[in-house]
Amino acid sequence: MNLTTLHDYRLQYPGSGKFPTLTQSGLIRVMLERQRVKVARAAARRERIHRILSAIAHPFRTLHIDFGGKPAGQRPGSLRTA
C-alpha cells in the first residue's frame, strides 16, 4: 500500500470523515515514515551494488581497452577526437 499524501488516503478510504481523526493522522504519519525509510534503504542498496559492480568491472574494462578493444558505449566506426 503506497500512500504518499492525505489525498491518496482519501481515495483509498472514501468513507472517512472530512478531517482525519487523531488516530488516523498518527497512522498516516507512521505509514508515510515507514515508506520513506523503505525507499531510502532501497536507494542506498542500489548505490552500494552499483559501486561494487563498478569496482569489479573496472579493471577488466581497462584491460579490454589496452588490448585494442573499443570502450563501452562507443559505436563501431565512430571516431573519438580529443
Domains: count for the chain: 1
- Which of residues 6 and 63 earns the better pLDDT score? 6
Q: Give residue 53's domain range.
A: 6-66
Q: What separation in angstroms does the CA of 76 have from each of 58, 70, 79?
A: 21, 8, 9
- How far, in Å, CA of 20 to CA of 71, rounded? 57
Query: For the segment 12-68, what is each residue's pLDDT rounded down to a tens digit?
Result: 877 766 666 777 778 888 889 999 999 999 999 999 999 888 878 776 666 665 666
The Cα–Cα gap between 64 and 69 comes to: 5
**Across the chain, which distance is largest between two alpha carbons, in Å?**
70
Does 53 reside within a domain?
yes
75 pLDDT more than 90: no
Query: In this structure, is residue 36 part of a structural domain?
Result: yes
pTM of the model: 0.48
